[in-house]
Each structure stands twice: as structure tokens, then as C-alpha cells.
Amino acid sequence: MEARTITDEYRRMQQELHQNPNYGVASLAFAPLVADLIRQANVRSVSDYGAGKKNLLKGLAEAGIQGILYHPYDPAFPEYGAPQPADLVCCIDVLEHIEPELVDNVLTELARITTNLGLFSIHMGPAAKVLSDGRNAHLIQKPSSWWLPRLTQHFEILQLQTHNTMGHGIWVIVKPRELTG
């Protein structure tokens, strides 16, 4: 049995938030970066972990990316099915939304499905959105010094960049630890 990555109550809150058309749009801003990585690394499959309304797929199409296998996963959209392994795993504006006690389980799952590269963006401050219970939608508001030790338990960081896309954060390109050497 795989470790739990989301509670039922939090899944319900995420489903409510996704009814807002302005929730889950960060992937559109990161799509050009993902498209460049797809071209540079000759990526044939993409797993969009925390895909929401599949805005990354829309952004990739706008960037001229066609013919890749696209695997969306989001617990708020059970119809997408389980997370799938891929050449490139994208996790954009997701990790800061994870319930803090489950973040290590999510990172383990990301490591399991990342066959070659991962591109993860993490915002470090508060979100504009609020959950139905009054908490900020960014459940984890921690600096990169908090995130990096957790990421490096599972991944080698190939590139790290700060950004101010929809708030202060970082994005990293990673490779699974067992593939480095």
C-alpha cells in the first residue's frame, strides 16, 4: 500500500478551490520554460503532478509542443487516475499546497515517477486564495533552506533559480538520485 499524499477533507477543499477559474493558472506562466526543457532534453512524455485543469498542456500547445505523451495527475480530479512515470515530471505551484505532514510522502511519490528529469516550482509566501476553513492556500510558507534538504533526499538538483512569477519562489530542475553519478 502506498503512503497517503492527501487527506479526504483537504481533497474536498481543493476541489472547491478548483471551481474558481483563476485558481491553478501558474502552469501557464511556466509553460515556456517547460517547453524549452522538452526540446533540450528530447522529452517524449510529461507527467503533470497537480495538473489541476491541465493548464500546462494548454500552455505547451501555445508554445508549439505537440506529440508528447501527457499524463495529468491531481487528487482533486480523480478521473485523471494515478500518477504516471514520465521522462519529465512537472510539479508547478503544488508543493507549497501539500499538507505539511504529508510532504515527504509526496516527494517520495515524485521520485518514484521521475524517470529522467523533474521541474518543480515552489512559492515561498502566502497565496492570494484562502481555503474554506480560513487557512491560506499555501499551507507551507518556508524558504528554500527548508525545501532543499527535503528535495535532496530524493533528487540531485541540476539547476535552481529564484523567480517572482505570481509571488516569490524557486524553480528547480532535478534528476533522481539513482540516475546521477
pLDDT in tens, 15-31: 998 887 777 778 999 99
Separation of CA 94 from chain center: 4
Find out if CATH 3.40.50.150 is the number for domain 8-179: yes
**Rg of the chain taking only CA atoms, in angstroms:** 15
Q: What is the pLDDT of the chain when averaged over all its residues?
A: 94
The answer to whether the CB of 144 falls within 8 A of the CB of 161 is no
User: Residue ranges per domain, the chain?
Assistant: 8-179
Tell me what pLDDT residue 106 has: 98
Q: Extract the C-alpha cell encoding 84.
A: 504516471
pLDDT in tens, 73-111: 999 999 999 999 999 999 999 999 999 999 999 999 999
pLDDT in tens, 144-171: 999 999 999 999 999 999 998 877 899 9
